[in-house]
Structure 1
Amino acid sequence: MNIVIVGPGAVGSLWACKLHQAGHSVSLWGTQTSQQWKLAIDDLPETVFAYNQQQDLINADLLLVTVKAWQVKAALTPLLRDISKDAILLFMHNGMGAVDEIAELISAYPTVIATTTHGALKTCAHHVKHTGVGQTQLGAYNSKGEQCTFLVDVFNHALPSVSWNPDIQHALWNKLAINCAINPLTAIHQCLNGTLAEERFRPTLNAIIGELVAVMKSEQIPVEQNQLITTVNNVIQATSTNKSSMHQDIFYHRQTEIDFITGYLVRKAQQHNINVPTNIELYKQIKLLEQNGKHHD
């Protein structure tokens, strides 16, 4: 396939290298002014990818959009005039709500949403490390997207394991719940994920999860409170030495994805008239840290 990766950060670079190794024609689209871009994964030699080439957009069978949630609209909108209406749009990012913002713009395109638990780390502009093996789930965003189940084979051949989830919203909500629990707290306290296993965080985590469960049930997402607490605790243990993306964004004075994680939860809670004071407080604290451009322990 002719594949354009829009936003070759850590996850985008990981998939660019893996899809290239699997024999696809992969090019990159990003914010640099280059016409080509070198990328190496792990200990393998560098590959040279075409970069920001209009002809690659015109020829694309698939756009894999891996920018951060708050960048989706600005990154994709200018590209649409060059993309064939048969090209598939596949979005892979943390949080929810970003694709909803452009739903009308992309209604003509087959659109798929993905969530992945693979770990990737950009050690420099031209090198990515595959830091953790995970699973990827794909699911249709619109009716045309339902015709794209073959993408499971394409992606599974490049980086297993990949599955098609007809209830992708369930998977996205479960990922959102984990992010709501872990990301803001680790960003505010500038701590590793594993620190959240300490007893002092338990009341806050339980409050976050209680509010999540109320909203998820109103959104018709099957969820059970004790099970979600267990899931969050398992992720905290499994990723105990990791720094969350929001931790890193606050540390480096970058914009976070809070509006598409906790912010999305808060907006949904308001629609259902559900009170979520713990999550609102965390949201406000992150927005304050973003504005101040500084972090405190």
Structure 2
Amino acid sequence: MNFAIVGPGAIGSLWASSLSHAGHNINLWSRQTDNQLTIQCDNHLPLTLPNNDHQALKNSDVVLVTLKAPFVLSGLKSLVEHIHSDAIIVLMHNGMGTAEPVSSLFPNNPLLLATTTHGAYRPTPQHVLHTGKGNTQLGATNSLGHQCEFIVDVLNNALPTVEWHSNIQQALWNKLAINCAINPLTAINNVNNGTLSQQAYQYDLQQIINEVVEVMHAEAIAVEMQALTKTIQHVIEATAANYSSMQQDIAHRRTSEIDFITGYLIARAKHHQIDVSFNQSLYNSIKQIEQSW
């Protein structure tokens, strides 16, 4: 199949390499102006792939969008006329809130949402390391998307394990809950994930979780307080040496995904008239740091 990877950062480069090695045709869309980019995953041979090629994009069967959430809509707006109406669009990023505007932008395209736990790191722009094997969950957000379950087999063959989720909102909310707990705290305190296992952070974590669970219940998302707390603690321990994406963004003075993580939670809480003042204070702190630049 023909795949376009929009936003070939760490995760995008990992998928580009995996899909290419599985025999698919890959083209990239990035901020780089070169008409070709080189990607080397781990110790595999380097791949040279077309970049910003309009004809290759028009011929793409699948457009995998791995841009960070704040850049998804602006990135895709410039590509609307070059994406075929039959192309499957897959959004794969942290946070929530991009599906509705993207669906309005591409009303005739199948739209899928994805969440992945694969770890990837780019020590250089050309080299990506697969730092942790995980799984990817995929699901539809419109009626055309529900006809595209076959894509699971294609993706699973390239980078297992990939599963179809009949209620992708459940999977996305589970990931959002983890991100709400870990990302702002690590960014504000400039610490790695494992530091949050210390006693000093347990009160903050529980306040976040209490508010998240209330909003998830209002959204009709199945969640149990004790189970979610256990999951978050497990992720903190399993990724102890890692720095969250938000911590990295704030440390390097880049726009974070706070509007699509804690910001999305706050928006849904407002809709249901739920008080999430603790998460609001974390959101405000991140915004104050960003505005201080």
TM-score w.r.t. length of structure 2: 0.99
Shift of 1:99: 2.0
Matched position secondary structure for 1:103: helix
Whole-Å separation in 2 of the counterparts to 1:147 and 1:68: 26
Partner of 1:203: 203
Whole-Å separation in 2 of the counterparts to 1:34 and 1:271: 45
Partner of 2:276: 276
Partner of 1:154: 154
Matched position secondary structure for 2:79: helix
Whole-Å separation in 2 of the counterparts to 1:15 and 1:81: 24
Partner of 2:20: 20
Question: 1:72·1:99 contact (CA, 8 Å) conserved in 2?
Answer: no
Shift of 1:78: 1.4
Matched position secondary structure for 1:122: strand
Matched position secondary structure for 2:105: coil
Partner of 2:129: 129
Partner of 1:253: 253
Residue 87 of structure 1 pairs with residue 87 of structure 2: yes
Structure 1 runs, 4 residues or longer, greater than 3 Å off: none
Question: 2:140·2:146 contact (CA, 8 Å) conserved in 1?
Answer: yes
Shift of 1:101: 2.5
Whole-Å separation in 1 of the counterparts to 2:183 and 2:268: 19
Shift of 1:284: 0.2
Per-residue Cα deviation, 1:227-248 (whole angstroms, up to 9, x for no partner): 1100000000000000000000
Partner of 1:213: 213
Partner of 1:70: 70
Question: 1:66·1:92 contact (CA, 8 Å) conserved in 2?
Answer: yes
Question: 2:40·2:128 contact (CA, 8 Å) conserved in 1?
Answer: yes
Per-residue Cα deviation, 1:242-269 (whole angstroms, up to 9, x for no partner): 0000000000000000000000000000
Whole-Å separation in 2 of the counterparts to 1:292 and 1:195: 25
Whole-Å separation in 2 of the counterparts to 1:193 and 1:91: 25
Per-residue Cα deviation, 1:163-194 (whole angstroms, up to 9, x for no partner): 00001000000000000000000000000100
Counterparts of 1:43-58 in structure 2, within 5 Å, are 43-58=43-58
Whole-Å separation in 2 of the counterparts to 1:7 and 1:116: 16
Question: 2:60·2:87 contact (CA, 8 Å) conserved in 1?
Answer: yes
Shift of 1:291: 1.2
Residue 232 of structure 1 pairs with residue 232 of structure 2: yes
Matched position secondary structure for 2:39: strand
Q: Percent identity?
A: 51
Question: 2:103·2:111 contact (CA, 8 Å) conserved in 1?
Answer: no
Q: Mark the runs of 5 or more structure 2 residues left unpaired by the alignment.
A: none
Partner of 1:41: 41
Instruction: Tell me the C-alpha RMSD between the 2 structures.
Output: 0.6
Q: Mark the runs of 5 or more structure 1 residues left unpaired by the alignment.
A: none
How many residue pairs were aligned? 293
Matched position secondary structure for 2:204: helix
Shift of 1:134: 0.2
Shift of 1:65: 0.3
Partner of 1:112: 112
Partner of 2:292: 292
Whole-Å separation in 2 of the counterparts to 1:245 and 1:278: 21
Shift of 1:19: 0.1
53-62 or 171-180, which moves further after superposition?
A: 53-62
